[in-house]
Amino acid sequence: MFTKKQSEKIAQIPRASRMFKRFYLLFGIIIVLFLSLIGRLAYMQLYHKSFYTSKLGSSSTYKVSTGSERGEIYDAKGVALVKNTISEAVAFTRGNTMTSEDIKKLAQELSQLITLSDTDVTTREKKDYYLADPEQYRKVVAKLPNKKKYDNYGNSLSESTIYANAVEAVSDDDINYSEDELKIIHIFSQMNGTSLFNTTTLDSEDLTDEQVAIVTAKQSQLSGISVTKAWQRSVTDTGLSSIIGTVSSSKSGLPEEDASSYLAKGYSLNDRVGTSYLEKAYEDTLQGSHTKQEITVNSKGKVTKTKTTSVGSKGKNIKLTINLDFQEQVENILQNYYSSQVSSGIAAYSEGIYAVAIEPSTGSILAMAGLSHETNSSEVKSDALGTITQVFTPGSVVKGATLASGWENKVLSGNEVLYDQSLLGIRSWFTYGKTPITATQALEYSSNTYMVQIALKLTGQEYTTADAVTTDNFKSAMKELRSTYAEFGMGTSTGLDIPESEGYLPTDYNFSNMISESFGQYDNYTTMQLAQYAATVANNGKRLATHLVEGIYDNDDQGNLGNITQKIEPKTLNEVAISSDEMKLIQTGFYNVVNSGSGYATGTAMRGGYTTISGKTGTAETYATDSNGNTVATVNLNVVAYDADRSIAVAVMYPHANNDDSKAHQYIARDIINLYVSSYANSSSEQDSSDSEE
User: Cα-flanking dihedrals φ and ψ of residue 558, to 5°?
Assistant: -95, 5
pLDDT of residue 268: 82
Better pLDDT: 607 or 94: 607
pLDDT of residue 1: 52
Query: pLDDT tier at 692 (50, 70, 90 boundaries)?
Result: very low
Assess contact for 559 and 541: CB atoms under 8 A.
no
Angle CA(331)–CA(336)–CA(339) in degrees, nearest 5?
110
Pairing of strands 225-235, 80-93: antiparallel
377 pLDDT higher than 50: yes
347 pLDDT higher than 60: yes
Cα–Cα distance, 687 to 253 (Å, whole number): 38
pLDDT of residue 45: 63
- pLDDT, average across residues 631-639: 95
Q: What is the mean pLDDT of the chain?
A: 89
604 CB burial (10 A radius; 0-12, 13-18, 19+): middle
Positions marked active-site? 396
Strands, E assignment, 414-496 = 418-420, 435-437
Assess contact for 500 and 528: CB atoms under 8 A.
yes
689 pLDDT higher than 70: no
Assess contact for 642 and 670: CB atoms under 8 A.
no
pLDDT of residue 301: 62
Query: pLDDT tier at 121 (50, 70, 90 boundaries)?
Result: very high
For the ranges 516-525, 613-622, 680-689, the lowest mean pLDDT is seen at: 680-689
Cα–Cα distance, 585 to 578 (Å, whole number): 11
Assess contact for 549 and 282: CB atoms under 8 A.
yes
Buried b / exposed e over 174-191, threshold 16 CB at 10 Å, is ebebeeebbbbbbbbbbb
pLDDT of residue 313: 87
Distances in Å between the Cα of 432 and the Cα atoms of 436, 570, 599 are 11, 47, 14
Assess contact for 567 and 691: CB atoms under 8 A.
yes
Query: pLDDT tier at 693 (50, 70, 90 boundaries)?
Result: very low
pLDDT of residue 63: 73
> In this predicted model, what pLDDT tens digit does every residue of 159-179 receive, in sequence order?
999 999 999 999 999 999 999
DSSP class of residue 579 equals -
Terminal CA-to-CA distance of the chain, rounded, Å? 124
**Residues facing 85 on adjacent strands:** 232
Helix (H) or strand (E) holding 442: helix 439-445
Angle CA(445)–CA(451)–CA(453) in degrees, nearest 5?
125
Cα–Cα distance, 446 to 433 (Å, whole number): 16
Domains of the chain: 59-92+225-320 (3.90.1310.10), 95-193 (1.10.10.1230), 324-693 (3.40.710.10)
SS3 115: coil
Spatial strand order in the sheet of 291-297: 60-66, 291-297, 303-310
Summarize the chain as % helix, strand, coil (round to 5): 40, 20, 35
As a whole-number percent, the residues of the chain with pLDDT over 90 amount to 65
Query: pLDDT tier at 4 (50, 70, 90 boundaries)?
Result: low
Cα–Cα distance, 307 to 327 (Å, whole number): 49
CA 348 from chain centre, in angstroms, equals 31
pLDDT of residue 144: 93
DSSP class of residue 431 equals -
> In this predicted model, what pLDDT tens digit does every residue of 213-259 receive, in sequence order?
999 898 888 888 888 888 889 999 999 999 999 999 887 888 989 98
pLDDT of residue 47: 59
pTM of this prediction? 0.83
Angle CA(598)–CA(603)–CA(604) in degrees, nearest 5?
60
> In this predicted model, what pLDDT tens digit does every residue of 504-519 receive, in sequence order?
999 999 999 999 999 9
**Residues facing 637 on adjacent strands:** 619, 654
Three-state secondary structure of 272-297: CCECCHHHHHCHHHHCCECEEEEEEE
> In this predicted model, what pLDDT tens digit does every residue of 281-301 receive, in sequence order?
999 999 988 777 777 777 666
Largest CA distance in the chain: 142
Helix (H) or strand (E) holding 85: strand 80-93
- pLDDT, average across residues 48-71: 67
- pLDDT, average across residues 553-578: 94
